[in-house]
Amino acid sequence: MQLSRTLKNILIAGAIAIILGLAAWYFYITAQQRAIEQQDAARGFGTPTQSFESSLGSTYENLVSNISSTFDGGTEEKTATKAPQLAQVTASPVAGANFIGSGTSTRLRFVERSSGFVFDADPQTVELTRLTNTLVPIMHEALVVENDRLIVRGLDDNGAIATFTAQIVSTSTSADLQALVLTRLPNDIKTIAAHPGGEGVFYIGEGAQGAVGIRSSWDLSEQTPVFTSALAGWNAFWLANDRIVLVQRPASGILGYAYGITSGRLSPIAYDVPGLTLLPHPTTTALLYGASSGSSLSLSAQIDSSSSAVTLPIRTIADKCVWSPAESAVAFCAVPQSPTPSSFLDLWYRGETHTADAWWRIDAKAASVELVFSPNTSVDVENPVINKNGTHIAFMNAVDKSLWLLRIAE
Amino acid sequence: MRYAILFIAILCTGSLYAVPVHAQLDFGTVFSLAIAPEYPEGRDSVRVTAHSSLVDLSTETLIWYVDGVETASGVGLSEIDVTAGPLGSNTRVEAVLSEGGFKRALAEAIIRPVAMDVLWESDSYTPPFYRGRALPSAGTNLLVEAKPYFRNTNGSNVPIEDIVFTWSKNGYAVAGVSGKGKNKVTLPSPSLYGSDSVSVKARTLDGVFAIEKSVRIPSTEPLLNLYEDHPLFGTLYHRALGEQTVIFGEETSFTAIPYFASALNPNDRSLQYEWSVGGTPIENSLTQPNTITINARGSSGNAFVELLLSHASNLFFRADGSWNVQFSSQAPGAFGLPFTNTP
């Protein structure tokens, strides 16, 4: 009996000890978890559970957790309402953007500069969807084309320009996020342009006697030299009519030239223009070109190759313009609202000056201009693109590389 | 249009045609045509002038034909204006010296529009993704390319390999760079504060086509800009630091970019960076001497950054800059605006 009572007490004491031990372990683990969460929070990892489970992912959530404060109501509320006429798509710097698809399926696709992640934005609501989970850090440039294809450009460890063709592909590991499959092109490509449909690339690389322009299939299996030059400094466009346009890189007051390459034949399209910036029409031979010299800044339009150019009554550069796909010979240009400094083009390219732009509509046939939108906030427009319906223009703000969306028609 | 026009044939200079139409020509008459300007712009008005060393044309009757069509005639009419055709066309201009209904002499010119672009840039340094032209500074090289457009009437272009190029600089022929098919040259850039006139003459072997063009190329002083080197976004080439700049944070790296310098990259061993902060010289990074990291912890938050850049072998190369950077603990607010500056 005595033995039984002793055994009973031992068992009770043991049970109590086990319970206390478990309780202590629970509190210890809880404290550790809290400490870890506090450390994570201190590092900025504020929403780990939501991040991993959402379509946007942790890195993006961390990045935009600061951004949402700049939006009206933050990301979640933004998705529920129609975007204002001018909306900031993301305050995080982007490498490049373009509209994909058409009609109601139109999306604004962009590449985040810090991560190389690809996102889609709904032009109506500016709701964001992250598409890829392949980390490609610090992308300086990105060209976005159809068929889930992109060109992304950054710097390698030696400071050389690294250029990749990229394809968004589905993976078996994630239902929501896809991979970005990269194919590296030769180093130090100065200029590259993508076929609008993603069927190929044109780039200028180093050749035996200077620069050589290569027209390549997307997978780089077929490469054809179509252009050689002693000069490497060109900006390139690949137009929808399979025409490639090369514009010599400009400097204020220095004569510039532009050429079209069709079927391997080089033909001049603009010449002897100081500080030449040029925007070819994607489907016709119409041109917008800017001239910059000293404090002079002008923009001219030419509706076809046989017509004379007319100088428009606005002072801007062709880099800030985009042709409308919805109207013939109509373009939209961002125009500095204040006088620009002397040698503006050079200063702007070097990031030494910025502008506060308003949007104007250009009728090249009538040589007339009309103010479309004057924003309340200061935006320095660069790399503008327009959707196929001609209702939205997206552009980067050269001040901070943020991405903006302007609605110009319903 | 910029198509210059080549007047390739001034015929009948002391010679007369032994063809039926010229049967009545007065042997011994020297009669020729000249155009002005020598290389006029395409589709512009070209002035064709008749000359004779033996005949006083002011008292003679001249009949003018353009592509076989009589366009003008009159006593003393020794010049006419002709509109040049497009590239690849031939415009035949004839002048007939007439006396009493008889043709005494004939001169002929064929106007073939040609064009030539002369393009140039420098091999000076510009940062990656820079969209502007690389400009020449002392110690760099000029890359010059001539693009002549000699178009035959069948629409084909005369190949570059069949054209002789003669290059000159400041009026003097440049040895070793001229010759057949040599439409690309590399020349030393103009000296500091100077400018060079580079001329190129292009001519086909048979002399049918020819043109000459010159460009004046000024020298540029190297330019030193400072940019933030951001850990997430890389070097922020789109925002050069102004004289007064506010940086959010305690520690920031900066990268100096020597625009138009004679260097392959900003860390070229020939470039010598001399940094100082608040007047105190700073030792350079061994691998990236163009980069400096400033930690403002425990300091007033203001940093006066000075940089002097020189070249190991080019005594004319010198660039400097100074920037007043204020470090602020205040949160930047928007994610994408790491600093502000005041140009």
Lowest pLDDT segment from A272-276, A390-394, B14-18, B109-113: B14-18
Confidence of residue B335 (pLDDT cuts 50, 70, 90): very low
pLDDT in tens, A178-204: 999 999 999 989 999 999 888 899 999
State residue A74's pLDDT score. 34
Q: Nearest CA to A277 among A251, A315, A295, A313?
A: A251
Q: Over range A330-351, report the average pLDDT.
A: 97
State residue A325's pLDDT score. 95
Q: Inform me whether the pLDDT recorded for B336 exceeds 50.
A: no
Whether A191 contacts chain B with CB within 8 A: no
pTM, entire model? 0.82
Rounded CA-CA distance A335/A374 in Å is 10
CB contact under 8 Å between B144 and A210, yes or no, is no
DSSP state string for A205-273: EEETTEEEEEEEETTSS-EEEEEEES---EEEEE-TTS-EEEEEPP-TTSEEEEEEEETTEEEEEEEEE
pLDDT in tens, A58-81: 444 444 444 433 333 333 344 458
> A326: how many CB neighbours lie within 10 A of its CB?
14
Q: Where are the beta strands (DSSP E) in A36-137?
A: 86-90, 94-100, 107-112, 118-121, 128-130
Q: Inform me whether the pLDDT recorded for A37 exceeds 80.
A: no
Confidence of residue B339 (pLDDT cuts 50, 70, 90): very low
Whether A401 contacts chain B with CB within 8 A: yes
Q: Nearest CA to B199 among B160, B171, B178, B161?
A: B171
Lowest pLDDT segment from A174-178, A316-320, B285-289: A174-178
Q: What is the CATH number that goes with domain B114-218?
A: 2.60.40.10
Class (C level, CATH) for B223-342: mainly beta
Name the residue of chain B whose CA is nearest to A229's CA: B145
CB neighbour class for B168 (10 Å; exposed up to 12, middle 13-18, buried from 19): middle
Q: Which residues of B touch A206 (CB under 8 A)?
A: none
Element (H, E) at A53: helix A48-53
Q: Inform me whether the pLDDT recorded for B342 exceeds 60.
A: no
Lowest pLDDT segment from A148-157, A209-218, B82-91: B82-91
Confidence of residue B7 (pLDDT cuts 50, 70, 90): very low
pLDDT in tens, A293-304: 999 999 999 999
Class (C level, CATH) for B4-113: mainly beta
> A214: how many CB neighbours lie within 10 A of its CB?
21
Contact yes or no for B187/B201 (Cβ under 8 A): no
Confidence of residue B15 (pLDDT cuts 50, 70, 90): very low
The most distant pair of C-alpha atoms in chain A lies apart, rounded to whole Å, by 118
- Asked whether the CA dihedral A10, A16, A18, A20 is positive or negative, the reply is negative
Count of H-run helices and E-run strands, chain B: 0, 25
pLDDT in tens, B44-74: 789 999 998 888 888 889 999 999 999 999 9
State residue B56's pLDDT score. 87
Rounded CA-CA distance A360/A370 in Å is 5
The domains of chain B are located at: 4-113, 114-218, 223-342
Among B234, B239, B343, the residue with its CB nearest the CB of A140 is B234
Whether B236 contacts chain A with CB within 8 A: yes
Rounded CA-CA distance A77/A128 in Å is 12
pLDDT in tens, B107-139: 999 888 888 999 999 999 999 999 999 999 999
In terms of phi and psi (left: phi > 0; alpha: psi -120 to 50; beta: otherwise), the region of A103 is left
Lowest pLDDT segment from A141-155, A302-316, B98-112: B98-112
pLDDT in tens, A103-125: 889 999 999 999 999 999 999 99
Rounded CA-CA distance B170/B151 in Å is 29
Q: What are phi and psi of B254, to 5 degrees?
A: -125, 145
* Antiparallel, parallel or unpaired: β B61-66 and B91-99: antiparallel
Q: Which residues of A touch B186 (CB under 8 A)?
A: 230
User: In chain B, positions 260-279, which contact chain A (CB-CB < 8 Å)?
Assistant: 265, 267
State residue A358's pLDDT score. 98
More confident residue, B141 or A60: B141
The order of strands in the sheet holding A94-100 is A94-100, A107-112, A118-121, A128-130
Q: Which residues of B256-279 are buried (b: 16+ CB within 10 A; e: fewer)?
A: bbbbbbbbebbbbeebebebebee
More confident residue, B207 or A317: A317
Q: Which residues of A touch B117 (CB under 8 A)?
A: 257, 268, 271
Percent pLDDT > 90 in chain B is 57
State residue B343's pLDDT score. 36
Whether A155 contacts chain B with CB within 8 A: yes
The length of chain B is 343
State residue B151's pLDDT score. 85
State residue B248's pLDDT score. 83
Confidence of residue A33 (pLDDT cuts 50, 70, 90): low
Q: Do domains B114-218 and B223-342 have the same CATH topology?
A: yes
State residue A298's pLDDT score. 97
Percent pLDDT > 70 in chain A is 86
State residue A378's pLDDT score. 95
State residue B31's pLDDT score. 87
Residue type at B61 in one-letter notation: T
> A54: how many CB neighbours lie within 10 A of its CB?
14
Q: Which residues of B touch A155 (CB under 8 A)?
A: 128, 234
Question: Residue A60 carries which DSSP code?
Answer: H
Whether A228 contacts chain B with CB within 8 A: no
Q: Inform me whether the pLDDT recorded for A45 exceeds 70.
A: no
Rounded CA-CA distance A387/A326 in Å is 9
State residue A93's pLDDT score. 97
Whether A398 contacts chain B with CB within 8 A: yes
